[in-house]
A and B are shown apart, each in its own frame.
Chain A
Amino acid sequence: MSKFTRRGLLKSSAVMGAGMAMPTLITSPVAAYTNEPTGGSVTLGFNVPQTGPYADEGSDELRAYQLAVEHLNGGGDGGMMHTFTSKALKGNGILGKKVEFVTGDTQTKSDAARASAKSMIEKDGAIMITGGSSSGVAIAVQGLCQEAGVIFMAGLTHSNDTTGKDKKANGFRHFFNAYMSGAALAPVLQNAYGKERRAYHLTADYSWGWTQQESIQAATEGIGWETVNNVLTPLATTDFSSYIAPVLNSGADVLILNHYGGNMINSLTSAVQFGLRDKQVNGKNFEIIVPLYSELMAKGAGANIEGVFGSTNWSWTLGDEGTKAFVKSFGEKYGFPPSNAAQTVYAQTLLYADACERAGTFNPCGIGEALEGFEFDGLGNGPTLYRKEDHQCFKDVLVMQGKENPDNEYDALEIVEVTPRAQVEYAPDHPMFAGGSLGKCNPGA
């Protein structure tokens, strides 16, 4: 019955308290790579926050994943598969194998996310892990996938480190990063608010907050702005009043909130309550900027977001063919438009599947090669490049602004400018990204 050949065997035994021996066995590698699919199906692991503050974002990602799986298996209207410039996908699964998926809960904690990803790899035989809603989780899971020998398609992660000092050969990121936010925002801010501004930063006190603050400070100082202060706020803060109050008389005329999610909603609400938006400083209107936006944050902040600039990876209000196709199939299935997190994970699932088809294998090393330096269009972001050197994706970045009178809750943000890719590119050895190395691709097994 046992398929096990007694090669490389019982190496040692530990004598335990009760005096019984515990054999420890070693496997001989049979498969060429971790979780090589042998049956008629292939399993993908969707690891998203399902409990905790980002649960709604996780739900939206999960919707998009399910849609992607449906399309890959030939169901639905095919969505962006028709607009995608690579035509390798045929709607018969991946490499002829039906796509199945398992889901897990990251709880937006690096520990829990790794446990969940491990169970997908060890128990369910997942060959690719994707998803997540924070950079801490993305970097932790990326490291795990590198060790386990599976591909990781990062979900929502904006920290420079994901493809900077913590980059890994088995990991790819479709989302943009803090440097790109700064590069995209700076010209728009210069146009709207001029060259002589004094900025006050409130920054979430952990690694993502720091990299974003560093990026935005560099970008705004590049257009001549002065940085008055940068105050770090504890992640657990819910009432930001005591951080907002000192801004009033600091001489600053711009407040930059390097916060995400609930932190951002609360700090922006406090800032508006303190009348910052109605204030005049140095003869100019006081302005607030939120460098990284999400649709859910806009929804949670309500009317406070009116006129506030920020950036996103994508918006359902874009007019290209890919976006239209995706919004149509998502909207018809779920009844509301997709968020930029949803688009990111949908695109990544398609890209992974396409890379498998083009490589003709599920081997992570083959897929890595197929994705490295891959250029494509039609997935909603315009012409896009997956750079070989750091596995960061390069594409247009959207500068958004809170709408004055939104028609409905999904329409809180409008596109101010589509910043072209060339403007947000940087060298792979840029100091903000230096320090790590991709290492070699690891097929595991």
Chain B
Amino acid sequence: MNSLSKKDKALLLFVAVMALLAPFLLNPFPTDSAMAQFNAGYPDLMQRFAIFGILAIGFNILFGLTGYLSFGHAAFLGVGSYSAVWMLKLLSMNIIPALILSVIIAGLFSLLIGFISLRRSGIYFSILTLAFAQMSFSLAYSVLTPITNGETGLQLNLNDPRILDATNTTGNLPVTGLFGLEMRNTFTLDLGAWAFQFNVGYYVCAAFLLLAFYLSIRIFRSPFGLMLRAIKTNQTRLNYTGLNSRPYTLAAFVISGMYAGLAGGLMASMDPLAGAERMQWTASGEIVLMTILGGTGTLLGPVLGAGFIKYFENIFSKINETVLHSWFSFMPDGLNDAFVWVLHFFVGKGWHLTLGLLFMLIVTFLPGGLMEGWERIRDKIRGGKGGGKNPPAEATKTPAE
């Protein structure tokens, strides 16, 4: 920790506090209020925030630092999930072996794909990774069904061996845990009109998120990270100096593949099912979107971007017309219907539309992603107060190019 700068320490601390308090922060509205729809503080979504945060942090190590745009990162997530579920089936419901295997397998898989794909750069590299990922998806969906259970996804079974665990006699599937601590356990704190949920699985994910974040800071600040940036800035010049850049890019590729593997393993540990769809090109595209939306090359951006997209997917898709009608029930009938009619294009089954519009708006007006938006706001506050108090240091500004 000592080698971290003061700014980085503050950033890490900020993320730690946010992660710790997430059940409160994400649950700002009373349970029975109409706004409760927008609460995101339930275990599954909080876990997803953390898991996809890890995924995006890892992706950013490759894309943000080296500029290599991989369109096949979802494949490593999928491979990680499959390995984890197999460990849960064969060995034990303890998530540790599952996570270890998922990181190792994803690392090996990314080593293989990276070794081949990194022979090319630019869009040729992107298409190579895309091709590998699409092949993995197609095979996982159909031919490899004995290993992946295809369309349905790999699931636990009552008669799985699980050689390290005691024989299961409950007639129900065992649950994933960490040395006896069950991932699904949730403690609900009722405070007045609020109900805050503290979930074991979430905190495990959050712990890994912090670890991932810490490692990423270290990589960003290391000579290795500097070398990666040099590759992004001008690879040709670097090569002229007699330096072979490929080992560095390959290392970055494998590290980010292992991050994806960890994310996949965590996904399977929280919800023991591995579906082939998480390897599809759209899933890879989603990782790219998260990173760019949040702010490529920044430390915090990818985590924000991941949270942003997952929030939309899980919250906006659930707002249906009945909910809309209840929001506007205070209005006269005609006006109520008019509002609902307009809004229903953007929520529920229209959530894709809203997401697409937001992509366009953010990219057009905030080229640096959400992090740029944050910095602009900060600058404005600073400017407005005439250089008053320093806001909490959370945005580590890293030049995008």
A and B touch in the complex (CB under 8 A): yes
Question: Which chain B residues border A20 with CB–CB below 8 Å?
Answer: 16, 20
Could you tell me which residues of chain B, from 106 to 165, have a CB within 8 Å of some CB in chain A? Answer: 138, 141-143, 145, 149-153, 155-156, 158
Name the segment of B182-190, B296-304, B377-385 touching the other chain: B182-190
Contact of B207 among A22, A27, A147 (CB under 8 A): A22
Give the tally of cross-chain contacts (CB within 8 A). 179
CA distance A104 to B323 in the complex (A): 12
- B273 interfacial contact with A, CB 8 Å: yes
Q: Taking each of A12, A147, A161, A437, which has the highest tally of chain B beta carbons within 10 Å of its own beta carbon? A: A147
Q: A103-B348, A114-B273, A440-B170 are in contact. Are A139 and B181 (CB under 8 A)?
A: no
CA distance A437 to B171 in the complex (A): 10
Instruction: Please state if A147 and B173 are interface contacts (CB–CB under 8 Å).
Output: yes
- B75 interfacial contact with A, CB 8 Å: no
Q: A4-B187, A122-B44 are in contact. Are A135 and B349 (CB under 8 A)?
A: no
CA distance A50 to B346 in the complex (A): 12
Could you tell me which residues of chain A, from 1 to 27, have a CB within 8 Å of some CB in chain B? Answer: 1-4, 11-12, 14, 16-18, 20, 22, 24-27
Instruction: Please state if A206 and B150 are interface contacts (CB–CB under 8 Å).
Output: yes
Q: A16-B16, A208-B151 are in contact. Are A439 and B186 (CB under 8 A)?
A: no
- B56 interfacial contact with A, CB 8 Å: no
- A166 interfacial contact with B, CB 8 Å: yes
Instruction: Please state if B181 and A12 are interface contacts (CB–CB under 8 Å).
Output: yes
- B99 interfacial contact with A, CB 8 Å: no
Mostly helix, strand, loop or mixed at chain A's interface?
A: mixed
Q: Taking each of A16, A17, A112, A119, which has the highest tally of chain B beta carbons within 10 Å of its own beta carbon? A: A17
Question: How near does chain A come to B262, taking the closest CB pair, in angstroms?
Answer: 15
- B320 interfacial contact with A, CB 8 Å: yes
Instruction: Please state if B170 and A140 are interface contacts (CB–CB under 8 Å).
Output: no
Instruction: Please state if A123 and B42 are interface contacts (CB–CB under 8 Å).
Output: yes
- B12 interfacial contact with A, CB 8 Å: yes
Could you tell me which residues of chain A, from 78 to 116, have a CB within 8 Å of some CB in chain B? Answer: 101-105, 109-112, 114-116
- A207 interfacial contact with B, CB 8 Å: yes
Instruction: Please state if A50 and B348 are interface contacts (CB–CB under 8 Å).
Output: yes
Instruction: Please state if A22 and B20 are interface contacts (CB–CB under 8 Å).
Output: yes
Question: Which chain A residues border B141 with CB–CB below 8 Å?
Answer: 205-206, 235
Contact of A122 among B42, B151, B185, B273 (CB under 8 A): B42
Instruction: Please state if A18 and B12 are interface contacts (CB–CB under 8 Å).
Output: yes
Residue of A nearest to B200 (CB): A24
Question: How near does chain A come to B89, taking the closest CB pair, in angstroms?
Answer: 13
Residue of A nearest to B310 (CB): A115
CA distance A166 to B173 in the complex (A): 13
CA distance A204 to B314 in the complex (A): 30
Question: How near does chain B come to A1, taking the closest CB pair, in angstroms?
Answer: 6
CA distance A112 to B317 in the complex (A): 11
CA distance A226 to B172 in the complex (A): 43
Instruction: Please state if B317 and A50 are interface contacts (CB–CB under 8 Å).
Output: yes
Residue of B nearest to A442 (CB): B172
Question: Which chain A residues border B192 with CB–CB below 8 Å?
Answer: 1
- A262 interfacial contact with B, CB 8 Å: no
Question: Which chain B residues border A439 with CB–CB below 8 Å?
Answer: 158, 171-173
A-B contacts besides A22-B206, A24-B200, 7 pairs, CB < 8 Å: A17-B1, A26-B200, A102-B320, A104-B318, A123-B42, A136-B152, A139-B155
Q: Which residues of A contact B (CB under 8 A)?
A: 1-4, 11-12, 14, 16-18, 20, 22, 24-27, 50-51, 55, 58-59, 62, 66, 101-105, 109-112, 114-116, 118-120, 122-124, 134-136, 139-140, 143-144, 146-147, 161, 166, 205-208, 232, 234-236, 437, 439-440, 442
6 example contacts (A-B, Cβ-Cβ < 8 A) are as follows A59-B349, A118-B271, A119-B45, A124-B318, A136-B275, A140-B152
Lowest 3 CB-CB distances: which A-B pairs, in order? A440-B171, A50-B349, A136-B151
